[in-house]
Structure formats: structure tokens, C-alpha cells
Amino acid sequence: MEQAVTLKLKLHEPTKAKREMYQLMADRVTEFANRYLSLPKKERPRTSKEAAGISDSLPAAVLNQAIRDIRAKKKAKRFKRLWPTFNNQNFRVEREFSRDGRAVWKVSFPALEKRVGVPVAVAPYQERYLNLLLEGRARQGVARLVRRGGDWYVHLSLAVATGRRQGPEKVMGVDLGMVDLLVASVEGRTLFFSGGELAYVRRRYARLRRKLQKAGANRALKRLGDKEHRWVTDVNHKVSRRLVEFAVAHGVTKIRMEDLTGARWVFPQGREQRKDHGRSLQYWPYYQLQKFIEYKAALVGIEVEYVRPDLTSLTCSRCGETVKSRPKGRWFRCPRCGREKHVDVNAADNIAQAVSGLAT
């Protein structure tokens, strides 16, 4: 089964020169289309080679695609506007990770003089689809370059393989960070990833960074940052893969995690509460980890839901009693029912049990 979607991706702050060039290309495609339609049917070109005589220096890839578009509109007599389109050979989507762990998306396509590569603004739900595309779980259709008001977009069509996991709902709660990097819990089964190694390496890098900063060694500083970034990214890929495998093995249909972006979120060292909520340099490894879990889960048909984390580590997951302060150490001890449980497992259970009213 496949689902067709069109992603409307806004080109991120194109320069004036680029905007003018896009407009010129769109004008030329429209002119070409109308010249094409003015020809007797038998003389209409079928390839970019045959069309060269009636086009104003459009790239062959754009011309070929324009001919396809025109021919697909059998009844058209005149085009008020025909936007340039690109097939899946000529339009490319690329993903890089910025230093703060966010995916940075770029697209490239043939333009009037040469190919252009441009960053695009991508919403979280669009990112999910683009990740599927890069993983080979979605097929790329045509992309259309479109102006809406003063802004330029590409409308990218995708065919996505669908298939929700079958069976009764089974929710796994995932808690990030307090004592361990990640704890997952589903119906009494738990999976731990220790954050110890990650924290150790990040501290070591932080020390080195301070030294280099004092020495004013900017290039070395940047290399160090890149190295740390690659290392953390690698850890996150492994952890997210193991987590999703664990979920599949236990028949999980939904993964619930804390919404770090709106969270009262305490950094694992427990020293300070931050106000920038999951997106700062401190938190990017967690933010990136969630993104990886999200798209890997999507690949196997597991839904991901975010919940507000306010009380997850302050509430007893058995009787619902809340305590005033965060438990010190590894154990949550409930003053009402007396239950003792690992703090992060208790939190993961609360996340799993979150009623949908808590979902963000």
C-alpha cells in the first residue's frame, strides 16, 4: 500500500538574484508551453532536442519535464502559468546535521545556468517523510518550483509505503536522561542504555574545548566539535536502532516520549534547570536521539507520540501519588504505597500510561 503526499517546502531566504532567476525560469517555461500549444499537433516537439528551437535556453531536464506536463493536460489551450518541474533524476533532497543536532535539509535542481542547491524550511511532520525518502521507504515523484506571494516553494510529491503495525495497542514509554541515557518500559519489560559513557566523553571534550578556547585555537576547536558531534550521532543511531528493535520484538504499536521542547527538563548531571528546553547545545544529543527514534519507528509502522513531561519523575506509576521533589539517587520510593522502583523506569511507565490528554 502506498500513500501519496505532497510536501510544500519553502525555500529558505533565497537571495534577490536567486528569486529573479526562479521567476525568469518560470516565465520561460510558461512561454515555452504556449508556443508549444500554438504549433500544429504534428509539429509539436516530443523531446528537449526537438524543442530547442522554440525554447529560450531552458535546461534539457526542465524542457523534457515541461513537455510531459503540457501533454498531460490534454485540454489546455493556453497556460496562464506553468511552473518548472523536475523529475526524480534531476531533483535531489539532501540531509545534513547541524552542530546542535538538528537536521538541515537542502534540495538541488537544474536552473538556468547551472544546478542550484538551496536550503529549505522543513516542519517536523515533513521531516518524517523526508527521512523515509532517504531511507528508501518512500518514492520520489515530481517536484515543482512554485511562487506563492513573495515566497518560493518546491512542491515535492512522494509515494510512501504505509502499514501500521497490526494488533491491539501496546504502548512503550521512553524516558530520556536522568540517570541513564534512555530507559524504555513496556508492560514490565525494560531496556536500559547507560548514559555513563556518553556523559564521560562529552565531559572530556568539554575540558579540551576550554583549553583550546583559552589558547584561542579556533580551527582545532572546530575539529574537536565536529569529532564530538560525529561520535554522539553514531551513539544515537545505535541506541535508536536497538530501541526500535526492542519495540518490534515486544509487539509495541506506539512509543511515547517526553516532549523536550516544552519540558521542565533536567540535565543528567542534575546541576541546573534550563529554560531553553531541549534545543540548546546541552540538549542536542537528546533531541537528535528522539528524531532518530521517530523516523526509525515510522519505518516499521510504529507511531510516536509526545507527552508533557511535567510530573513523570515525581509520580508513582502504581498509585499516582506525587512527591514534591525529585528523588535523589536511583530509586523512587512511594510514600503512599511503599513501592520502590528505578526512577527512570518509573518515569517511563508514567510516560507509557499518559492519557491522551497529556499528549502534545
Instruction: Tell me which residues touch Zn ion (CB under 5 A).
Output: 316, 318-319, 321, 334, 336-337, 339
Question: Around 209, how many Cα atoms within 13 Å sit in the side-chain half-sphere?
Answer: 13
Question: Which CB atom, from 115 or from 336, has the smaller least distance to Zn ion?
Answer: 336
Which stretches within the chain are classed as H helix?
Answer: 16-38, 48-51, 60-72, 124-134, 196-215, 218-249, 284-299, 343-353
Question: Which CB atom, from 70 or from 345, has the smaller least distance to Zn ion?
Answer: 345
Dihedral in degrees, nearest 10, Cα atoms 295, 296, 302, 305: -50
Q: How far is the CB of 318 from Zn ion (least distance, A)?
A: 5
Question: Which CB atom, from 263 or from 334, has the smaller least distance to Zn ion?
Answer: 334
Question: Which CB atom, from 78 or from 328, has the smaller least distance to Zn ion?
Answer: 328
Question: Which CB atom, from 79 or from 332, has the smaller least distance to Zn ion?
Answer: 332
Three-class SS state of 127: helix
Question: Which CB atom, from 102 or from 333, has the smaller least distance to Zn ion?
Answer: 333
Question: Around 220, how many Cα atoms within 13 Å sit in the side-chain half-sphere?
Answer: 11
Q: How far is the CB of 323 from Zn ion (least distance, A)?
A: 10
What does the DSSP 8-state code read for residue 36? Answer: H
Q: How far is the CB of 175 from Zn ion (least distance, A)?
A: 17
Q: How far is the CB of 357 from Zn ion (least distance, A)?
A: 21
**What size, in residues, is the chain?**
360
How far apart are alpha carbons 216 and 166 in whole angstroms?
57
278: left (phi over 0), alpha (psi -120 to 50) or beta: left
- State residue 341 phi and psi, 5-degree precision: -150, 150
Q: How far is the CB of 316 from Zn ion (least distance, A)?
A: 3
Q: Which residue type is seen at 184?
A: A
Q: How far is the CB of 185 from Zn ion (least distance, A)?
A: 16
